[in-house]
Structure 1
Amino acid sequence: MDFKGFSNKTLPFLRAIRSNNNKEWFEAHRTEYDNYILTPSRSFVEEFGEHLMALEPTINFSPKINKSLFRIYRDTRRMGANKEPLKHRIGIIFWQGNGSRMQTSSFYMHFSPDELFVSVGVRWFEKPMLDAYREYIKDSRKRETLNRLLHSLMDKGYSVIEKGYKRYPSGINKEMMYSHLFLYKGMATYKIIEPNLIENGEKLIETLYKIYEDMLPLQQIVYEISLRVKEEGK
C-alpha cells in the first residue's frame, strides 16, 4: 500500500491555520501544506479510490484540486459566507455520475483538528435535485424503502442529516405514510470519528471501507435520484 497515512504534524498544522487564518501566513508555510496536506491527500485519493471501486465500479476520483480535492482557500465572495480566507478542515470526495460532484451522490469525508467526518449522499439539494428527490418519494414503495433504510443505518450507529423544512411541499398530504421524508433539503448519512485515525493509513482505509459498505444502499438511492435530473433535462 503506497498510502501510509497522514503525518502526525497534519492536525497541528490545521490548528495553526485556525490560529493564523490569513494569506500571508499561509504563503510563508506553503511547503508544510504541500508536505502535510496536499501530497498525502493525493496519495490517499489514488489508494482509496481503487478500494472504493470494489463497492461501486463507476465511482469517479482524481487526485486534483476541484476534483476529489478541494481548494484550501475559501470562496468569501458569496453572501453570508465565512470571511476567513483559509479552511482548517480538508475535504475529499469520490463522486458517481457525470454531473456536479456536489449534486450527484458521493462518498465524502473531511478531517479537521476536531473530527473525521464520513458521509454518503448529498447534504444540500439544489432545485433540480430537490425536484427529482420529491418526485422519487411520491412513490409510496420508494418512501417505505428509504424510511426503512434510514432506520437501519441509525440502528448501526450512523446519523441522518436533519430535516431542512418545516412546511410540506404544495400538494403533499402530511397524513400519508412517511410524509416526513418530504421535509428534507438533502439526503445523506454520516458518522463522526476521532481525527487521529488519519495518521494510520491501513486502519483509516479499513475503517472507511466498512463505513461506506454499510452506507452503500443510500449512496445508490441518491445516485438513482441524480439520474432522474439528467433524464428530465433531455
Structure 2
Amino acid sequence: MEFKGFSKNTLAFLSSIKKNNNKEWFEAHRSEYEELILNPSRTFVVEMGEHLQALVPTINAEPKINKSLYRIYRDTRRMGANKEPIKHRIGVIFWQGNTKRMQSSSFYMHFSPDELMVAVGVRWFEKPMLDAFREYISDEDRRVRLDKTLKSIVAKDREYTYLEKGYKRYPRGFNADMPSADLSLYKGMATFKRLDPNLITNGDKLIDTLYKIYEDMLPLQEIMYEVSLRIKED
C-alpha cells in the first residue's frame, strides 16, 4: 500500500492523549490510534525502508511493534521513567546490523504536536557501546575523522546539530591536549534536525525530506555502525 501521509487529525489525536493520559481513555479510543497512527506508521516503515535500503542495503525496516515501531504504552516501572502511561510522541527507527536496535547506528524520526525530529546515530550509549565508542576514538586518526564528519554534516544545513556533551571529566586515556578529545565526553553520538510536525500529512514530501536529511547524515551512520561492530559480547 502506498504511503500517502498521516491524517490531518493525527496531531490533534496525540494532543488528546496528552490531555487524557490514562489507559481507560486510550482503550476507548484504540480504533482511532490504529487508524491515525499505527496503520500509517506501518505503511511509512515499508516505503521509507525501501528508500533507505538504497543508501544502506543492510538497514532493518520492520513494520512491527518493538522493531521499527515502538509500543504506545510507556514502561513506567523503570526508576526515573516518565510516569504517564501513554506516549504522545511517536517514534520510528531503522537500524543497521544484528545488535540491539537502540545500540546500533540508526536512522530515526519521531513526531508529536510540538515537533518532527529526524536523527542519525546512537542517542545514548549503554556500557558495551560506550566501551566500543571509546575504544574506537582512542585512535587519533579515527577520532579526528569523526570530529571532521560531525562538522561537515552541520555545515550542510544551519539547522543540523548534534548532541551535547554528557560528561564533564575526561575518561581514562583521554586528556585536553589530545586532538578532538572532547568526543570522549559524549554519552551518545547523533546528528539531528527539527522540522514542522505538520509535514507528516504530506507523504511524498515527508519521504523526500527525510531521505535528503538521512543522505546528508550518512557519513555518521557509517562510522557509528563501524563502532557497533566493536561491541564485545558478554
TM over 0.5: yes
- After superposition, the C-alpha distances for 1:19-65 in whole angstroms (9 at most, x for unaligned) are 00000000010010000000000000011100100000000111100
Report the secondary structure of 2:86's partner residue: coil
1:182, 1:17 → 2: CA distance? 39
2:61, 2:37 → 1: CA distance? 17
Query: What amino acid does structure 1 have at the position aligned with 2:17?
Result: I
Equivalent of residue 179 in structure 1, options 170, 178, 181 = 181
Report the alpha carbon displacement of residue 111 of structure 1 after superposing the two structures with TM: 0.3
Report the secondary structure of 1:86's partner residue: coil
User: How many positions carry a matched residue from both structures?
Assistant: 232
Runs of 4+ in 1 over 4 A off after TM superposition: none
Q: What percent identity do the matched residue pairs reach?
A: 70
Counterpart in the other structure of 1:53: 53
Equivalent residues of 2:7, 2:36 under 8 A apart: yes
Counterpart in the other structure of 2:127: 127
Instruction: Structure 2 unaligned segments of length 5 or more: list them.
Output: none
1:233, 1:17 → 2: CA distance? 40
1:154, 1:93 → 2: CA distance? 22
Instruction: Structure 1 unaligned segments of length 5 or more: list them.
Output: none
Query: What amino acid does structure 2 have at the position aligned with 1:210?
Result: K
Equivalent of residue 202 in structure 1, options 190, 201, 204 = 204
RMSD across aligned positions (CA): 1.0
Report the alpha carbon displacement of residue 233 of structure 1 after superposing the two structures with TM: 2.8
Counterpart in the other structure of 2:146: 146
Report the secondary structure of 1:167's partner residue: coil
Equivalent of residue 219 in structure 1, options 218, 221, 234 = 221
- After superposition, the C-alpha distances for 1:136-190 in whole angstroms (9 at most, x for unaligned) are 0111111111111111112123111001000001232221111101101111000
Deviates more, 1:166-175 or 1:195-204: 166-175
Report the secondary structure of 1:125's partner residue: coil
1:64, 1:171 → 2: CA distance? 41
Equivalent residues of 2:138, 2:173 under 8 A apart: no
